[in-house]
Structures are given as C-alpha cells and as structure tokens.
Amino acid sequence: MNRLQNFSQMRVRFAPSPTGPFHIGGARSALFNYLMARKYGGKLIVRIEDTDLERSSSESEENILTSLRWLGLDWDEGILVGGDYGPYRQTERLELYQKYAQQLLEEGKAYYCYCTDVELEAERKALLEQGEMVGYMGKCRNLSNRERKSLEAEGRKPTVRFRVPTEGHAVVVNDLVRGRVTFDTSTMGDYVIVKSDGIPVYNFACVIDDALMEISHVIRGEEHLSNTPRQLLLYQALGLKNPQFAHVSLILGKDRTKMSKRHGATSVTAYREAGYLPEALINFLVLLGWSPPGEEEIFSLEELIQLFSLDRVAKNPAVFDLDKLRWINGHYIRQSSIKRLVDLSIPYLQQAGIFASILTPKEQAWVELLVAAVRERLSSLSGIVQETRALLHHEAPPESEEAQAVLREEQVSTVLHCFKQKIMDLEEPLDVDRAKSLLKQVTKETKLGGRKVFMPLRVALTGKMHGAELYYLIPLLDKEGCLNRISAVLQDTCV
C-alpha cells in the first residue's frame, strides 16, 4: 500500500517555539521537512510559534534561525525570507486568530468560559480523587446571557473554549508514519483555544496557520501526536482542510528515557561549539528515526534528498548515541580540507588562551601542521585544544604501565642518544621532510627494526603508545621540545 500519495505541490513547515536553545529534536524535524520539500520540489516554510509570551524570546528565535542556516537547511518562505502567506510570526497574526475564534463563538462551536484557575484546579483535584479522567466539566458550556453578564461584572476575564462535539466519540488520525491512530474524545473535555488575555493557544494558532498557509504535510515530533485530534476537531469545526500528518518518534537517551539535559548536550549550539561539523550533525540526525535502504550510513545532504522517504521512518523511538555522532564527525573531519579545519580550529585555541587574537605566520604554520597530524584521529574539533596542550607541556611522562615498559627495553638508551645527537645537529626550522630523514638515519645507525626505534621515541616524546605520526610530532615539538622530553627520559630511566 502506498501511504504517501499526492506529494505534488508539497508545502511543509517547520514551526518552532522560540522558548530556548534550538533542540536537536527540533533540528531533526526541520531536517525531515527540508528533505521532503527538496525531494518533491515543494516548499519549506519556517514559522515562529511565539504565543507563549512568557517563555518566548528573540534570543531563542535568533539561535534557532542561525542554527538552521549553519546546518545548511534553507527555507523558501517564512520568517526572514518573506512570502505570500505572511506574517510568519504568530504574535503578528493575532487578528487572524481573533477572527476565527469569533466565527466559532458565533456558530456556537466555542463559548466563553469564566472559570478561574483556582476553580479549575479544584475541579481537577476533585476528579482525580474520584479516579475520573481529567477534562473540563463544562460548567460554562451553556451559560445564559444574564449569567455571562453577571460573571463579567465580577471582573472575570473569559477564555474561549472549544465545544468538543458530543456526537461521535472518536477522532482518527491517519498518520503517515504511525498508520491509523484512534483517539477517544468523550473524556477530552472542552479545551481552551484563546486565553483570557486574548492570546490563542498553540493548538488553535497552529491550525489556523497550517490551513491559511496551505500546508500539505505536517511532519513533527511524536510529542504532538496527542494534540492532533484536538487540531483535527478544529479543522472540522472551522470548515478548513487539514494537512496530512507524520509524527516522528521521540529521541531517547541511552537509558531509554526521553532525551534531556541529563543525557548531555541537547542543543544544536552545544554540538556546534564542541566542534561537530554541520554535515556530521545532519548525517547523525537523519539516522535518528530514519533507516537507510542499504548498509551505508554516511550521506551528504544531496544524497539524503534523493534517498529520504517517510516510508523508512520508524515508529519506535530513536536512541541518541554520542559515540556514533563522534564516529560520523570523525569521518567528516577526515574528509575536510586542512584549510577548513585550521580555520575552524583556531577559535578553539584562541578561546583556550593558547594563541592571541591574531596568529603569527609561524603559529599559523604550526596549526596547519598540527591539523595534518591529528586529523585522522580527531572526533571533534574542540579536541584540538587537548592535542595542543599535550605538545606544549614541558614534559610527557609515560601514561601507562605499558608505556613505562617500553622505556625499559634494552635498546632504548642507544636509540634516544642517537636521536638526541642527530636532532641537535639538525638545521631549523624542522619540517616533515627533515624529520623523516632523521628517523631514517636513526634506524640505519642503530641497526634496529622500526618498532624498536619508533616506539621508544613515541613514548619518550609523547608519553603515549599511539598517536600522530612521529614525523609530524618532531617538527611540532620543535628541537627544544624534543630535546627536553628526550633528556627527561634519559635522566629518569637510562643510565
């Protein structure tokens, strides 16, 4: 069965609430919408849902939009770019919502409710105590004009409640990911669509906007599935055409609870700042909920546009695996040019106070060499700071038992002495070619096999058993750094 009919003229939207830093779950929704729009030659609209006046902020809006652009997810219509269906920020559309609320009020499909928060809370508590489902009991459902007037005279400011139809007790959502989902409306209770300050709630504003913006498909997180029956009832009551829905499963942490700050960073900015590349994050996010058709897991945005389909979006939750993100990021770091990585790395080194705001040509060359040295092993760009610190320390004592054992091998003294002599004779500045020929000479002169020479040198120079190629490390440490470290080992371990 093809659940995905009629994708021509697709209009999808990403509709974030700017109430905090851009969450990776939001980024994934944006990505899925983007891929669908691009795949089917449709339009992606970005709309700001800022009707929660207390929690919305312009910093958050800016963070979301900057992050979308950083990820490479551009949009065709909406905030910042304009379009024929604007304005694209909900607080600039309040008159529209009022108009539709008025329509519902006039048709008797909505009514003013004068219950106060305190009264509603008391009702809720009483229902809970009786073990009943908690929904508004309908106290203001059928007020007479007189009753309304007298409540207004008390100074009460009404909300507008939607009158949930009593005929038929089910709403069916034909979800493109989850299939047919049926909701019982008998316990739903009439719900608020406009608050007492005249501001619409999300469920109402979202319906008006999706309809007026002619959205064809709503692709969003599963947390909104339970809002969908409420929204469908509103489409029906307003006589508006509803879009098709696709609810993408939740993102869980490794412990299988909903991904939250407890599990580590949740914002796109945090990953950007930690040195993840946008293409790595995109590649990682798409795999949270979508499974590729073959074994391959590395995809560019262009490839994803070809390959992506809602058919392969899973119903079961996706698990956020940081190791996988690091692996994917490592892949894209290895694919990147040295120049790009240098440009991206320098701010980390400046922020760590290792370099001043302007690098000397020598420092610039040093960073280039460093990046070439560590690119193979780096899983995030912020790791460059640690790599640099390790090279700038005066000493590098062996880090493990195993490394200590290497320095106790019988040939070590000969190798280190030979290396020390040769490096002292070497002309500065050291470079990769000079380091390579130096290493060759040491092997030749000591008449020892590679490992017997390179392992003690590596441990003496870095304290570690593994790492960047020696011919990079030698010029990075420079003559002085190499001599300091070799001398320290010769003093400590070799007589």
**Smallest gap, in angstroms, from Cβ of residue 39 to ligand GLU?**
19
Q: With CB under 6 A as the contact rule, which of the stretches 11-19, 288-296, 356-364, 484-492 interacts with ligand GLU? A: 11-19
Q: How far is CA 157 from CA 42, 150, 331, in A?
A: 43, 12, 58
Residues 207-246, mask of contacts with ligand GLU (x by CB under 6 A): -------------x---x----------------------
In the list 10, 11, 12, 17, the residue contacting ligand GLU (rule: CB under 6 A) is 17
Q: With CB under 6 A as the contact rule, which of the stretches 10-18, 113-121, 431-439, 451-459 interacts with ligand GLU? A: 10-18
Q: With CB under 6 A as the contact rule, which of the stretches 15-23, 282-290, 320-328, 455-463 interacts with ligand GLU? A: 15-23
How many residues in the shown chain lie near ligand GLU by CB under 6 A?
7
**Smallest gap, in angstroms, from Cβ of residue 224 to ligand GLU?**
5
**Smallest gap, in angstroms, from Cβ of residue 184 to ligand GLU?**
22
Q: How far is CA 366 from CA 330, 345, 417, 435, 477, in A?
A: 21, 12, 27, 15, 10
Q: How far is CA 435 from CA 54, 91, 423, 440, 470, in A?
A: 62, 64, 9, 9, 8
DSSP summary character for residue 137: -
Tokens found for residue 364? 């610039």
Residues 71-110, mask of contacts with ligand GLU (x by CB under 6 A): ----------------------------------------
Q: How far apart are CA 98 and CA 92, in angstroms?
A: 12
Give me the helices (H) in 169-222, please.
202-212
Q: What angle do CA 304, 264, 269 make, to 5 degrees?
A: 55
Q: How far apart are CA 248 and CA 156, in angstroms?
A: 41
In the list 206, 286, 304, 473, the residue contacting ligand GLU (rule: CB under 6 A) is 206
Residue 459 contacts residue 406 (beta carbons within 8 Å): yes
Sheet holding 110-113, edge to edge: 110-113, 159-162, 191-194
Q: Strands 159-162 and 191-194: what pairing?
A: antiparallel
In the list 12, 15, 24, 79, the residue contacting ligand GLU (rule: CB under 6 A) is 15
**Smallest gap, in angstroms, from Cβ of residue 226 to ligand GLU?**
12
Residue number, 288 or 384, with CB nearest to ligand GLU:
288
What amino acid occupies position 232? L
Judge whether 261 counts as a catalytic residue.
yes
Choosing from 125, 149, 261, 447, the catalytic residue is 261
What is the binding site for ligand GLU (CB under 6 A)? 15-17, 49, 206, 220, 224
Active site residues: 261
